[in-house]
Structure 1
Amino acid sequence: MYKLTVKGVVQGVGFRPFVYRLAKSMGLKGYVRNMGNGTVEIVIDRNPELFIERMKDEKPPISRIDEVFVETVEFEAEDFLILRSAEKKADALSLPPPDVAICGKCLEELFDESDRRYLYSFISCTDCGARFSVAITLPYDRENTTFSEFPLCEECRNEYENVMDRRYYAQSIACPKCGPDYLLFNHKKERLAEGYEAIKMAARLIDSSHFIAVKGIGGYHIACITDDDVVFELRKKLRREQQPFAIMARNMEKLKEIAVVNAEANELESYIRPIVVLKKKNRDAFYAVAPELDTIGVMLPYSPAHYLLFENMKADFIVMTSANLPGEPMFIDDGVFELDLDYYLVHNLRINNRIDDSVIKFVNGRRMIIRKSRGFIPHAFRLESRYNGVALGAELYNSICFLKDSMIIQSQYIGNTADFRTFNEFFKKSLNFFQNFLSMDSVDFVFCDLHPLYNTSQFAEKLVEKINARLIRIQHHFAHGMSVMNEKSLDRAVAISVDGVGYGYDGTIWGGEVIYIDLEEGRFERIGRLEDFRLIGGDLAGEYPLRILFSLVYDYLGDYDLLRGYEKYLRENENFELFESLMDRNLSTILSTSTGRMLDAASAMLEVCFRRTYEGEPAMKLEAIAVDTDPDGPEIGGSREGRVYPVFADRVVDGRKGEVSVLKTKRKFVECLERYADGEDRGVIAGEIIAYLAEGLAEIACRFAERKGLPVVLSGGVAYNTIFNRHVYKKAEEYGVKVHINEYTAAGDNGISFGQIYLSKYLDVEK
């Protein structure tokens, strides 16, 4: 007989009953069972090639087959059976499946009056429902999830054990008799309603301009109508002055009334159901939801409760934003009552793993992930390496990556690890959860950012001592580049790494870098960068970009006469004379080459944004007013400075000196400032500055790449900028150079851990 071992997403997705029905249809004998290592074992008596072909072609929609190993075994069978799951094996790679949006069949039953799950908020089957968020341990069976707290009624048990039923071994199976349900509380924690009545009442309260915390898959959201006055009140409650909120639309038809939907439709309606950043049809619409932006983040309903809310609401659009305070993780339990809200729509299914909504943006027709979380996680990605490793990522937009058995598993989006709650309640728990799930008893390497003061870096130092592993620090922008190289299996590339902040090898703030990476030779070279400028007051300049603009103008002209009209935007007790004094004496300033901060300065220059209240705000608002235009040719100079850096640098190091290309920017900014003062359209100037930075850095990268016969990889938060992105591709096309961007993981800091872990492929543990 033939034993097939199937690796991939094959547990909790209806794979075993599918295999059973397929085998029976082919008249095969043998068995199928879940193994304790995340794989499925199938034994059949004949036709393995045809069986595998049909298995791959006809598999359940949310399953994924990565590999099938075939061997011959001695076994006798008279029929085909589904056997009990094997015990979890030590040191075995295994994963729970991701959380999945309600499927079409369950949605039909939800509104079918004759169905026993009519209007039941936890209807699900093998093709949909909560998965990762309720998983506790493996194998992924009901007793190993938080659904185990709800014993099955007789009818559910019959479905669960009937191999021909759609809910056979659906671990999230439930009904109104035996499953979880919703309760509605007011701010005094007084119960007002339960079950469907709780959802009906919540819908009416949302229509009446109330703020309601809604517990869903993976955590709590806050829901309210999208009227400006209501949303501004929510901003006060959550201390989110300007950060855009996501909204949920009743359906695709309504969504298309307010936003431009093209290739995004498939993503919006996929089982992942991410938030998708779309272009508004009317820029002034939903102003309070996305202040001064021409885009809006939208998702469609993905849980039964969402559909039931809309069934009872007049509103076609509601704010549906994560329930958390700035920087903190989303609430998953009764801690949500800390928020000053009117009502709380709570369900009694325990969330074991918090997981936020994923976010996607199409940039020049290419799908890019901004936040990789619900629906995507967990997922395994192959990397040929004989080591086990853990990469702890960056400080902001954090995620963790694990490497075991030549497979990378990335955690869900974690967020800002500088925040105490996020670091202690989310980061550490996620690390422990995945280590347990993956049975990672031994780790060879731990990777972290080069920045010595990040919580993740300091945690890494203690972790390696505890588990007897080797610590490797990886510079932020090299990790960005390697995140693309990992996706594309590249050994050598030229990286354009562009973002707001990254700790450089020389102790300054990098962020506009052109880097040559040769992993086979262990070679990191900084071959180009933006012209450096000074951040007056360090982090304060990141919050108040007029300080950066002053630095650029003063450095180039030696005075600040051109900025006289901007004095009215200074904070109380600030003045340009103070900035001049700090610049002249080189006090309280730090050098930077950050593209993100450069865009912030342009935002201040064009009177778009003078204070950053959320990450990327000035640059995002700049992009919203920008008109795409072709810039003058870039002015590129050179500097003899640190160029070649050791791969295994420990904190700040002196690079071996060489010629580094420098994109000059200060003259450009002064010229643009003069043109703006003369009345030129600010949208044209904004687009020209973005394009100038993109084409200048791409010019440096493509010259080198063409000469060496290398591809270019583009990563970092600025890569999401549509104009910047397009001009990098435009310049590469002129040189005939191939450009790769992130597709599998986030281009921003959420993907840093994925870049860090790639170095595992080239390590020698004996060194």
Structure 2
Amino acid sequence: MFKITVRGTVQGVGFRPFVHRIALNLGLRGYVKNTGDGSVEIVVDRDPDSLIRMLRDRTPPAVKIDDVVVTKINCPLPESFEILPSGGKSTLSLPPPDMAVCGNCLKELFSQKDRRYLYPFISCTDCGARFSIVENLPFDRENTSLREFPMCEECRGEYKNVNDRRYYAQTIACGSCGPNYRFMGRNGERGGIEEASEAIESGEIIAIKGIGGYHIACLTEDETVAELRRILKRPQQPFAVMARNINAIESVSIVGEDERDELSSIERPIVVLRKKEPEIFKEVAPGLDTVGMMLPYAPVHYLLFSNMKVDFMVMTSANLPGEPMYIDEGVFNLDLDGYLVHNLKISNRVDDSVVKFCAGTRMIVRRSRGFVPKALNMDVKGYALAVGAELYNSIAVLREGKAVVSQYIGNTYNFKTYSEFFKKTVDFFLRFFRMKEVDNVVSDMHPLFNTTMFAEKLAEKLNARHIRVQHHFSHALSVMAEKKLSNAVAIAVDGVGYGMDGSVWGGEVLYIDIEGGEFRRVGRLESFELIGGDAATMRPVRILVSLLSERPELLDHYSRYEDVHSLLKLLPYAVKTTSAGRFLDAASAMLEICTERTYEGEPAMKLEAAAEKYDLGVEVEVDTAVERAKFETPFKPEGRSGKVRVLKVRDFFGECTERYLRGEKRSKIAYEIFAYLASGFATIAAEFAVDCPVIVCGGVAYNRHFTEILKRELPDIIVPSAFPAGDNGISIGQLYSLKILEGDDD
């Protein structure tokens, strides 16, 4: 007889019933069961090859098989083939992510003859909440928050029927035994989903408890959205929009085939789409030519639309700026008109994922619901925890050569996000994946990040090694981990990152050869000053002043925003940076598109919206400097001198300003700024990419103009698609950095 151990996403996705049916068809004796740490164990009396072949050929949509191991054993077998209770111990595997409701369940949801007619928690083995309700492995009902809802006789009958679609479906429920919704208005209970729909359509703003947390929903009319902005203290930040169906989205947005597939996928993320007309959703996404759109993914969303005539509603995370989304009664602190709540505990907070297509590549901006906890096979040994960056945080664990990245956590400089979300996520992942021992705790190099200080204390507590990785090397290593690369030239472009020299980096070209032990900064943006430090990131005119310090005659025009000539006196005391993101902020201020930032990335995003494609040629100016450039590893700031190519920007910026003040078209200058940056970085990268690939990483990579021009200059450039290019993906790069240390016992 044979034992088959299957690892991957194989629990909570109907895999055991699937195995059961195949085994019965093949006439096999034996059993299948979930193991204690996420894999599935199958024992058969004979012919394992036929079973494995059919498992791979007929895999259900939510199943992902990573690894299959067959061994010969001897043990008692049942007379037929059975599903046994979970137990045992095996190697690491994973529960599934939360999945959109499937077509079969949708048909039942709106069938008056079905006993789950209009039931908002309808699900089956192919769909429904998973990661958001799981608390322990294996993925069985008693290890989820659904354990508080015992199955009724009818549900249990379906659960035990091998021919039923809900055979062994752990999330099975109905109106008689499962969770349900109620709608609370300002003056008490007002009914259920139908009454919530009426409230939205009448112009009220309500909270809706979903799969991974609370959303706030309202109409997309300008007046209603303006009131929502007042409540959430988000004066300009764009909101996501949920549409009734794909036809509605296509009526207002430009939707390519890949974007259509992404919108309709089982992950069902928010997809950033170009508006067909600039005035569409003007208050929803002010100053932008894009809007984040998503389709319904939970039954409650379909039920809401079924009771409304409108095709769109705002559906944004219920949280105040910088704080985590609400998952409990804290949402009642918001001054809303109503609250559509359910009585199923959300065990794991999971925000909506966000996807954007740039240069024909799917890029994940925020990796959360639908993508977590999918794993990445990584050729790195040991057990480790990476705590990510300070902004857009995620954490990641490494066990048995697999890296598992958490859901999007957010900005850990915020006390609530740090204490109520980040710390709890670390505790959950270490417990959930049975990380009793940790060899390495990896963090950013910035000494003042909450995550860095946390990692230092945790490493001491666990008797583990604390490793600090430079921010932009982590960005590059994230892409290298995804693409299985050992060497690359990386264009790392973002807002800010603590540099090897203690200054603020953000526009770098790095050469990385893991096997050869080479880590070099071969190129960078010309440095400029951040007058007032963090204040300059909020008021980008201050960056403009530093870039125009040699052309003071151009500054008078901007005195309406800042006391520009007084700021010039502060230049000697300002922090220097090479940040591409901050350079774009200054360009946005120079063109008077955004002179005060109200959310992260706002000036550059509005600059992207203002730019129009022009057929123009740009001549870049690249100089050479001799400075600290060669490093033994990305962990040690001490380095040796070397030649560094420098993309000059001050003179170019001054010329652009002069042309703008003479009346040249804003859209053309904006596009030329992106073209200059992209062409400059491409020129430097090509110089060093003799026999290795070029990759791009960092938040600026999400800018469609920048990445499209890069792709035109470097057709083979590698753009990340499975993990975020920005800070939300840094934790995977931090884990991959451990590959550098293999064999190092220091």
Report the alpha carbon displacement of residue 84 of structure 1 after superposing the two structures with TM: 2.5
- 1:647 corresponds in structure 2 to 633
Report the alpha carbon displacement of residue 78 of structure 1 after superposing the two structures with TM: 5.9
SS of residue paired to 1:739: coil
| 5+ long unaligned stretches in structure 2 | none
- 1:223 corresponds in structure 2 to 217
SS of residue paired to 2:81: strand
Letter in 2 for 1:503: Y
Equivalent of 2:404, from 409, 416, 422?
409
Report the alpha carbon displacement of residue 86 of structure 1 after superposing the two structures with TM: 3.4
SS of residue paired to 1:461: helix
Asked if the contact 2:509–2:521 (Cα under 8 Å) also holds between the matched residues in 1, the reply is yes
Report the alpha carbon displacement of residue 97 of structure 1 after superposing the two structures with TM: 1.4
- 1:153 corresponds in structure 2 to 152
C-alpha distance in structure 2 between counterparts of 1:610 and 1:335, whole Å = 34
Equivalences for 1:261-660 in 2 at 5 Å? 261-262=255-256, 263-554=258-549, 556-557=550-551, 560-570=552-562, 575-583=563-571, 586-587=572-573, 589-629=574-614, 630-647=616-633, 649=635, 653-660=637-644
- 1:663 corresponds in structure 2 to 647
Asked if the contact 2:445–2:471 (Cα under 8 Å) also holds between the matched residues in 1, the reply is yes
C-alpha distance in structure 1 between counterparts of 2:345 and 2:82, whole Å = 29
Report the alpha carbon displacement of residue 47 of structure 1 after superposing the two structures with TM: 2.9
1:202-221 per-residue CA deviation (whole Å, 9 max, x = no partner) reads: 00000011010000000000
TM-score, scaled to structure 1: 0.95
Asked if the contact 1:88–1:139 (Cα under 8 Å) also holds between the matched residues in 2, the reply is no
SS of residue paired to 2:108: helix
- 1:237 corresponds in structure 2 to 231
C-alpha distance in structure 2 between counterparts of 1:631 and 1:581, whole Å = 36
C-alpha distance in structure 1 between counterparts of 2:73 and 2:523, whole Å = 59
1:29-57 per-residue CA deviation (whole Å, 9 max, x = no partner) reads: 22211111211111223332232222111
Report the alpha carbon displacement of residue 83 of structure 1 after superposing the two structures with TM: 3.2
Asked if the contact 2:473–2:634 (Cα under 8 Å) also holds between the matched residues in 1, the reply is no
Asked if the contact 2:558–2:564 (Cα under 8 Å) also holds between the matched residues in 1, the reply is no
Asked if the contact 1:94–1:138 (Cα under 8 Å) also holds between the matched residues in 2, the reply is no
- 1:138 corresponds in structure 2 to 137
| 5+ long unaligned stretches in structure 1 | none
1:396-425 per-residue CA deviation (whole Å, 9 max, x = no partner) reads: 000001000110000000000001110111
CA 1:187 to 1:522, structure 2 compared with 1: closer, same or farther past 3 Å?
A: farther
- 1:715 corresponds in structure 2 to 697
Letter in 1 for 2:579: S
- 2:60 corresponds in structure 1 to 60
Equivalent of 2:242, from 222, 243, 248?
248
Asked if the contact 1:152–1:179 (Cα under 8 Å) also holds between the matched residues in 2, the reply is yes
Letter in 1 for 2:692: L
Report the alpha carbon displacement of residue 134 of structure 1 after superposing the two structures with TM: 0.5
- 1:43 corresponds in structure 2 to 43
SS of residue paired to 2:548: helix
Equivalences for 1:723-742 in 2 at 5 Å? 723-733=705-715, 738-742=716-720
Report the alpha carbon displacement of residue 4 of structure 1 after superposing the two structures with TM: 1.2
SS of residue paired to 2:117: coil
Asked if the contact 1:16–1:82 (Cα under 8 Å) also holds between the matched residues in 2, the reply is no
Task: Please tell me whether residue 695 in structure 1 is matched to residue 679 in structure 2.
Answer: yes
Report the alpha carbon displacement of residue 187 of structure 1 after superposing the two structures with TM: 3.4
SS of residue paired to 1:134: coil
SS of residue paired to 1:133: coil
Asked if the contact 1:464–1:471 (Cα under 8 Å) also holds between the matched residues in 2, the reply is yes
1:544-570 per-residue CA deviation (whole Å, 9 max, x = no partner) reads: 11111111111x33xx21121221223
SS of residue paired to 1:399: coil
C-alpha distance in structure 1 between counterparts of 2:158 and 2:79, whole Å = 21
Identity %: 55
Letter in 2 for 1:766: D
C-alpha distance in structure 1 between counterparts of 2:199 and 2:635, whole Å = 57
Equivalences for 1:94-109 in 2 at 5 Å? 94-109=93-108
SS of residue paired to 1:165: coil
C-alpha distance in structure 1 between counterparts of 2:53 and 2:619, whole Å = 54
C-alpha distance in structure 2 between counterparts of 1:578 and 1:563, whole Å = 11
1:375-397 per-residue CA deviation (whole Å, 9 max, x = no partner) reads: 10001111122211111000000
TM-score, scaled to structure 2: 0.98
C-alpha distance in structure 2 between counterparts of 1:106 and 1:526, whole Å = 54
1:218-248 per-residue CA deviation (whole Å, 9 max, x = no partner) reads: 0000000000011011001100010000010
- 2:721 corresponds in structure 1 to 743
Report the alpha carbon displacement of residue 717 of structure 1 after superposing the two structures with TM: 0.4
C-alpha distance in structure 1 between counterparts of 2:487 and 2:639, whole Å = 20
Asked if the contact 1:473–1:649 (Cα under 8 Å) also holds between the matched residues in 2, the reply is yes
Report the alpha carbon displacement of residue 765 of structure 1 after superposing the two structures with TM: 5.3
> What RMSD over aligned residues (CA atoms) do the two structures have, in Å?
1.3
Equivalenced residues, count: 743
Letter in 2 for 1:357: D
